[in-house]
Structure formats: structure tokens, C-alpha cells
Structure 1
Amino acid sequence: MIEEKKKVEKRKNVVIVMCKYSVVVKGIERKLTEMGCKVSMVTQENEKIPKYDAEKEERMFILYLPNKIMEDMIQYNWMEGIYTSISKMSREIIVVGDQRDREDLAGSLFDMTSVKWLDRPLKMEELEILITGGHLPEGVHKSKKHILIVDDDPSYAKMVREWIKDHYQVSIVTAGIQAITFLAKNPVDMILLDYEMPVVDGAQVFQMLQQEPSTQNIPVIFLTGVGDKDQVERVLRLRPTGYILKSTTKEKLLDYLHTHVHNM
């Protein structure tokens, strides 16, 4: 009888990608080393990704995002390039960043269905769970309903996000085609859709959503800056979940959303 060979567990080879080395990253490095992982670093100054032994090691990447990455296009573009490269090498990618960045970057920098996200301040026990192949408890990052705002005016979209972010997870895109791309990768519970947008307007986006089985049942509330009778009738003919005038107040918007989300 031939003795069955035991499967040798591969050592974790973890590459931490960051713009600059920091005290927190040092703590992550120490934790991973204690777990028996082989750890290497990639920074903007030294962005060469080290080689590894695929037969003996299992490679993973941790992307440690800088604060306010959306406000620094140099760091954003560098991270985007690194992510594009490593996403072709490995399916095991953990991203560490601020909750607000997670909402902004979903569908733009990262495909959230292919990465595992950890909010700052980082909990080492959650990192250990992901490194060892486990899953975070149900409800982590999913306790709030997810609303997508589609509006070509980023200032208005960010204002609405500030109004509702304590109650909902909020993502923003600024063009109709971006919304379609985002929704192909990220599930949402409701869409706030600007009716008046250039190139592909809200009505066209709504019709595209209705043609796709994966999006046709998502509640859509139109945002419109024009409140005349003809405009309202044009909006209602499309049979959305509802519509809101952009001149509405924070309190009225929240009341409106709470009513519709509660009935979902």
C-alpha cells in the first residue's frame, strides 16, 4: 500500500505595500513575523516586488493606504498602478484604510469583490483572521444599507454624503457610465440618481438599469434641480421609486430615505 503524502502547508509570504513606512506598519510587520510569515516591503521609494518560491510559499499582499488618499493624486496614481500589477499576481489582497476612503474608492480604485478591507484603526485580531484564511464575522462593514449617489456635481454629492453617512454606507460616482461600471462590481441597496447629467443623463441610466436583471430591482430615487410640473411628470413617467428636489433640506432627505429604506 502506497503511503499517501502529507500536504505540506505553505509558508505565508506577505508583501506590505505602502507609500511611506510608519509606526503602524511596523506593528503589522511585527505581528506577521510572530505568526511565522515571511514579510517584505514595497514603498514609493522602493517599489520592486520581491520574488518568492511558489512551491513553498503562499503570497499575499497588504495595501496600507495613506490618510486622505483621494486628496493626493500622486499617491492615488501610484497605488492604482501597484494594485493593477498585483491583482494579476494574487487573489489574496488585504486593504487597510479609513472607512470614508472605502466608500470613495469602491468601484474606482478597487474592485471590492476581489479585496478584503480592514478599517483603521486596525484590529490585529481581524488581520490575523484574514491572514490565516478565515472570514470576518457577519456584519463587519455590512451593518448599514449601501446607497450609491450618481451626480455630475461632486460638491453636491459630497454634501449629501455628509448628510446621510451616519445612517448609510455611501458611495459616489460622477457619471452615468461610471454608475453602470460600479454596479457591475458592487451591490447597493438604493441609488440616488441625478436626472440632469451630461452625455448619459439620469433617464438613460435608469433605462439601462431596468434592462439588467442584476440591477432592475434596485430602488432608484431621482435627484432633480428643477421642480416645474413638466419636469416632474417626465421623471414620474419612468416609474422610479421616487424623486427628490435638490433644494430639499437634510432633515427632509433623511426622513424620505428612512421611509423608503424601511419599506425595502
Structure 2
Amino acid sequence: MYLGDFVDEITGTLVYIKDICTEEDKLLILVGTANEIETVTHTIPKALIAAAFERPFDMQKLVAQVDWLLEASNDLARRKNILLVDDDGTFLKMIKDWLSTKYRITIVTSGAQALMYIADNKPDLILLDYEMPVTSGPQVLEMIRSETRLDSIPVIFLTGKGDRESVMKVLALKPDGYLLKSMERSKLVAAIDEFFEKRKYQKLHDPSGTTGGRIP
């Protein structure tokens, strides 16, 4: 993004860019004066800015840095993409922070947004909140399973209830597994890692490629 003295007047655009970078892990590089870059950071957190170059800049250094960033981004693109669906923004941020070191995470806050996302994208896994207003987790799963183009996307429910009756109710819908929201960070990450490892192993031994790992 090449900045100018207009940055004070485009707060709405910067908010939009911040949301895109957060939800879709876009690579953001800023080029501008020190003041312009500082102004942008009032709206877009520095953690979301991959690099910033002050004008006047050394073109050779800029190209070298961008090449390095693109290579790192390509490595990130090879990671499994997980769609995280939950109406609790605090929980979304926490789980995204936990998983982002290993996986590409896309977050949405409703079942309707999840369905809109998978209409154009096919994540490797959907972590789906069981209890959501308007369009619940079970309804989202039902719609996914009813579409031939989407029914192979693995879905793991996130649930806050661990009693036997609640768990059996969740499993009756035949998701690819369930995870308790109260799980510790290390256990949740390990469970996701294990799911993908089992899925990879089973694909190697299943010519149809239709068998997937399940949790638990």
C-alpha cells in the first residue's frame, strides 16, 4: 500500500484492510513517510503489518525484502486452512492465536458467514461452534452435508458441554469429531495436529481418499 497525505481521510478503508488482513491472513506492506506509516498504525495494529518502508527508500532493499516476505507467505499458503466459526469474538481471537503458528486460520462470527465463505472457498477443516444464534452449528453441518460439492469438508464441533448426554447429542449428527471449549491450549493444538496426521495416513491407505481422521 503506497501511502500519501490522504491517510488521515481514509479511516474506513484502513478498517476494511485491517479486517481483511485479520480474517484472511493477507500480506500487508506499507510504503510512505514515517508520519504516514505512524498514522496507519493508529487503525491497523503493527502486528498485522508485514513490513513498512519509509520514503525515500532503497529499491534494491525493498525488492529483496518483498521477495523474502513472498517466500515466507508461500510457505504459509502451504499450511492447512482452518475455518473457525464462533459467535464469541474473544474465543475466536484466543483459538486463532493458538493455531496460527501452524495453520492458516480464517474466522467468521456466524453460521451464515461460514456458508458464504465456503461457497467460494474450501477449507481443509471447519471448527464449528455447536451453539450459535440464528443459524446453529447443527444447521450449518446439515447444509454442508446436503451439498455434494461441500460434503467432503471435515467438520469438528466446538462445544462447551462435556456431559455424556450433550456429547452423545453432538455425535449423533456425525461430525468428524468434537472438541471441548474448555480444553487447554496444548491439548487442543495436539488434537488438531493428530486429526490431520490421521487423515493424511488414511488417505495414503484409502484409494478413494474419502476416509478422514476423527476426533476423538
TM over 0.5, yes or no? yes
- Aligned residue-pair number: 168
Equivalent residue in structure 1 for 2:21, among 102, 107, 111: 102
Residue 185 of structure 2 corresponds to which residue in structure 1?
A: 250
State the Cα distance separating 1:230 from its structure 2 match.
Answer: 1.6
State the Cα distance separating 1:174 from its structure 2 match.
Answer: 0.4
Equivalent residue in structure 1 for 2:87, among 152, 172, 188: 152
Contact 1:192 1:220 in 2 (8 A): yes
Contact 1:118 1:127 in 2 (8 A): no
Residue 183 of structure 1 corresponds to which residue in structure 2?
A: 118
Flag the structure with larger Rg. 1
State the Cα distance separating 1:185 from its structure 2 match.
Answer: 1.8
Residue 212 of structure 1 corresponds to which residue in structure 2?
A: 147
CA gap 1:185/1:260 in 2 versus in 1, 3 angstroms:
same
State the Cα distance separating 1:262 from its structure 2 match.
Answer: 1.3
Equivalent residue in structure 2 for 1:229, among 160, 164, 185: 164
Pairing 1:107-146 to 2, within 5 Å after superposition? 120-121=50-51, 124=63, 139-146=74-81
CA RMSD of aligned residues (A): 3.2
Residue 166 of structure 1 corresponds to which residue in structure 2?
A: 101
TM-score, normalised to structure 2, is 0.66
Contact 1:225 1:245 in 2 (8 A): yes
Unpaired stretches in structure 1, ≥5 consecutive residues? 1-16, 23-42, 48-71, 80-96, 107-111, 129-135
SS of 1:252's equivalent in the other structure is helix
Amino acid at match of 2:77: K
Equivalent residue in structure 1 for 2:14, among 58, 67, 75: 75
CA gap 1:126/1:205 in 2 versus in 1, 3 angstroms:
farther
Residue 5 of structure 1 corresponds to which residue in structure 2?
A: none
More strand as a share of residues: 1
Task: Tell me, in whole angstroms, the C-alpha distance in 2 between the residues paired with 1:137 and 1:144.
Answer: 11
Task: Tell me, in whole angstroms, the C-alpha distance in 2 between the residues paired with 1:21 and 1:219.
Answer: 45
Stretches of 4+ moved more than 2 A in 1?
Answer: 43-47, 72-77, 100-103, 117-128, 136-141
Task: Tell me, in whole angstroms, the C-alpha distance in 1 between the residues paired with 2:175 and 2:73.
Answer: 31
SS of 1:256's equivalent in the other structure is helix
State the Cα distance separating 1:221 from its structure 2 match.
Answer: 0.7
State the Cα distance separating 1:74 from its structure 2 match.
Answer: 6.2
Task: Tell me, in whole angstroms, the C-alpha distance in 2 between the residues paired with 1:45 and 1:102.
Answer: 20
Contact 1:103 1:169 in 2 (8 A): no
Contact 1:191 1:220 in 2 (8 A): yes
TM-score, normalised to structure 1, is 0.55
Task: Tell me, in whole angstroms, the C-alpha distance in 2 between the residues paired with 1:153 and 1:143.
Answer: 28
Task: Tell me, in whole angstroms, the C-alpha distance in 2 between the residues paired with 1:230 and 1:46.
Answer: 55
Contact 2:122 2:153 in 1 (8 A): no
Amino acid at match of 1:219: P
